[in-house]
Amino acid sequence: MAAAVAAWFLWPTSLGGCTTITLVNGHSMEPTYYTGDVVIARCGDPQVGDVVVYEPPGYGSARVIHRIVGGTADGWVIQGDNNEFEDPFTPTDDDVVGVAALRVPRVGLAASALTNPWIWVSLIVLALALLVWPGRREEPDEADDADEPDESDESDEAEGRGELGAPEEVSGP
């Protein structure tokens, strides 16, 4: 039941639902929204004073998130909170995709980093460098080998044998 309610609230408009998720990019809505904020908008009846997401006609699927400062459902007057001028578009209710309902600050910065091609190129170069970087090999140093007796020499000396393995002669007093 909870999943059905969540799906109903989060079902995107692109699939016939009523929810639009918008990543804010730019300064026109500061201090209300900042670059990297994610705004969830729901369909509804926009009113003067509401922040809306709309698709300006002739710009494909581009979206603008600005505040309604006047007009009617036949043509809203829209302006960014940080702009001194009104938008050149007068979207109708049909152009409005949703009314802003929730802001999630800075979440979009991570998402935008993942879509940045320079980040991906850097990660690939780093992975390749780690893959082909020569490993550290421990090779015995020849000088160290000459100073250390090998194991067979130690056992021969312990048994009273010389280097050739023959018994050593010990002369007495």
Q: Tens digits of per-residue pLDDT, 41-95?
A: 999 899 999 999 999 988 888 999 999 999 999 999 999 999 999 999 999 999 9
Residue 163 has pLDDT above 80, yes or no: no
CA distance 32 to 45: 21
Question: In 3-state terms, what secondary structure has residue 5?
Answer: helix
Task: Name the nearest CA neighbour of 68 among 84, 56, 81, 79.
Answer: 79
**Which residues are bridge partners to 100 per DSSP?**
41
Residue 96 contacts residue 90 (beta carbons within 8 Å): no
Residue 40 contacts residue 23 (beta carbons within 8 Å): no
If pLDDT is split at 50, 70 and 90, which confidence band does 155 have? low
CA distance 96 to 64: 10
Residues 130-160 as b/e (b if ≥16 CB within 10 A, e otherwise) read: eeeeeeeeeeeeeeeeeeeeeeeeeebeeee
Residue 79 contacts residue 90 (beta carbons within 8 Å): no
pLDDT of residue 133: 85
CA distance 43 to 133: 54
pLDDT of residue 11: 63
Average pLDDT of the chain is: 82
Residue 158 has pLDDT above 70, yes or no: no
Which one has a higher pLDDT value, 2 or 15?
A: 2
pLDDT of residue 148: 57
Which one has a higher pLDDT value, 3 or 124?
A: 124
Residue 71 contacts residue 87 (beta carbons within 8 Å): no
Q: Tens digits of per-residue pLDDT, 104-154?
A: 998 888 777 777 888 889 989 999 999 988 777 676 666 555 555 555 555
Measured from the Cβ of residue 100, the count of other Cβ atoms closer than 10 Å reads 22
Query: CATH number of 2-106: 3.40.50.300, 3.30.56.10, 2.10.109.10, 1.10.1370.40?
Result: 2.10.109.10
